[in-house]
Amino acid sequence: MILLLLLFLLSSSSCTAMRVAVTGTTGLLGRQVVERLSNNNVEVRALLRHPIGQPNVSPSIDKDAKSAQVALYLSRLKGVTLVPGDATNLASCKELVDNCDAIIAAHGPVRPPPIQSLFCLLPESDPKHSRSVNYVAVQNLIIAAKESNTCKRVVRVTGKGESPASFFTVLINMLGNMAKAWNYEGEQLLRSSGVDYTIIRPGVMGKDDIPSNKVLALADNGQDLKVSAVTHAQIAELCCDCLYYPNAAKSTLTAMNVEEGTGEDSYAPLLAKVKADTREFPKTLLEEHKRAARNGTAILVSFMSVFAVASFAALKTVAKLFFKGIFID
């Protein structure tokens, strides 16, 4: 009995809680990731670009809450430490990931002004550009993970991006500083890094209510599923849960909602079946993405020009008729 008690005490003292680094902390996805990890008694180091010590700020995690409100809310959760910094800065990433067991990279670029993106007015080296956020930041996290000697998994949320000429991909690239293109290049950094990764390609996030007849579905190997709406809570759950499945390492998971009877009510049975990537992903799609976006921009500008000329001609004709009517009267 005494021997068993000693073994129990030794095993208990050797076990430490999981510690997870999170980026995109105050975003609609990141805030739910942090809260879920905290509720699961996981220690969290959350990267924060915004100060929380602002006067007259009330803590909130609501959809419409400001970043300062979300940061204050998260700072009061159990086991959460806020780390000032930016994922596009290597030193910040190293400080964030220090002594962590995993990283959940839930960050993404802020939507730029359409004209700025359409005409490539923001240089790729700018910290707000999609290249910096979706590519350089991932590169920084990989370096930090390798140097930490403790980080065993990088979970990265991206999106479908292997069809550069598809309508929605072109549109997002045109209006989002090539966000889809750089997301895919960031994925490829992970696949070639030697670090265990789980890449999650979710459906359309934004709606927080899904019809009751819709259930969860996963496809590994980056396979396609019919695009559907998914909630931030669902993807936050997947990000956190996949950390406990060794078979989800080095996997690319497409996450959608499907009709009842063809999916599951939780990710557990789906994650249990996941396998590591086996197919060969295209090494790079950057030039294809850029070419498709340039063509899309040219078509859009041409259409707008024709529309402007036609509108001007129509207004000119209306004006002539109007003034002619006045003088006749």
- The values of phi and psi at residue 16, to 5°, are -120, 155
CA–CA separation, 145 and 139 (whole Å) = 10
Residue 304 in this model has a pLDDT that exceeds 90 = no
- The 10s digit of each residue's pLDDT in 91-127 is 999 999 999 999 999 999 999 998 999 889 999 999 9
102-105 and 80-84 as β-strands: parallel, antiparallel, unpaired? unpaired
- The 10s digit of each residue's pLDDT in 193-204 is 999 999 999 999
Q: What is the pLDDT of residue 261?
A: 87
Cβ atoms 30, 24 nearer than 8 A: yes
Handedness of CA 267, 64, 156, 103 (dihedral sign): negative
Cβ atoms 62, 47 nearer than 8 A: no
DSSP 49: S
Rounded alpha-carbon distances, angstroms, from residue 238 to 103, 215, 217, 269, 318: 14, 13, 11, 12, 59
- What average pLDDT score do residues 244-259 get? 97
- What average pLDDT score do residues 224-234 get? 95
326 contact partners, CB below 8 Å, separation of at least 6: none
Q: What is the pLDDT of residue 228?
A: 95
- What average pLDDT score do residues 270-295 get? 97
**For the ranges 36-45, 59-68, 221-230, 294-303, which has the lowest average pLDDT?**
294-303
Q: How confident is the model at residue 251 (pLDDT cuts 50, 70, 90)?
A: very high
Q: What is the pLDDT of residue 15?
A: 40
Decide: pTM greater than 0.85: yes
Q: How confident is the model at residue 16 (pLDDT cuts 50, 70, 90)?
A: low
- What average pLDDT score do residues 147-157 get? 97
End-to-end CA distance of the chain: 112
Secondary structure string (H, E, C) spanning 128-186: CCHHHHHHHHHHHHHHHHHHHCCCCEEEEECCCCCCCCCHHHHHHHHHCCCHHHHHHHH
Q: What is the pLDDT of residue 315?
A: 76
Q: How confident is the model at residue 329 (pLDDT cuts 50, 70, 90)?
A: low
Rounded (10°) CA dihedral 143, 145, 149, 153:
-140
- The values of phi and psi at residue 269, to 5°, are -65, -25
Q: How confident is the model at residue 14 (pLDDT cuts 50, 70, 90)?
A: very low
pLDDT, greater one: 141 or 57 = 141
Look at residues 212, 214, 189 and name the one whose alpha carbon lies nearest to residue 281. 189
All structural domains of the chain, each given as residue ranges with its CATH number in brackets, are 9-287 (3.40.50.720)
- The values of phi and psi at residue 95, to 5°, are -65, -40
CA–CA separation, 189 and 139 (whole Å) = 7
What's the mean per-residue pLDDT of the chain?
90
Q: What is the pLDDT of residue 277?
A: 98
- The values of phi and psi at residue 47, to 5°, are -75, 135
19 contact partners, CB below 8 Å, separation of at least 6: 42, 43, 44, 45, 99, 100, 101
Angle between helical axes of 90-97 and 137-148 (0-180°, round to 10): 40
Q: What is the pLDDT of residue 323?
A: 64
**For the ranges 1-5, 99-103, 225-229, 298-302, which has the lowest average pLDDT?**
1-5
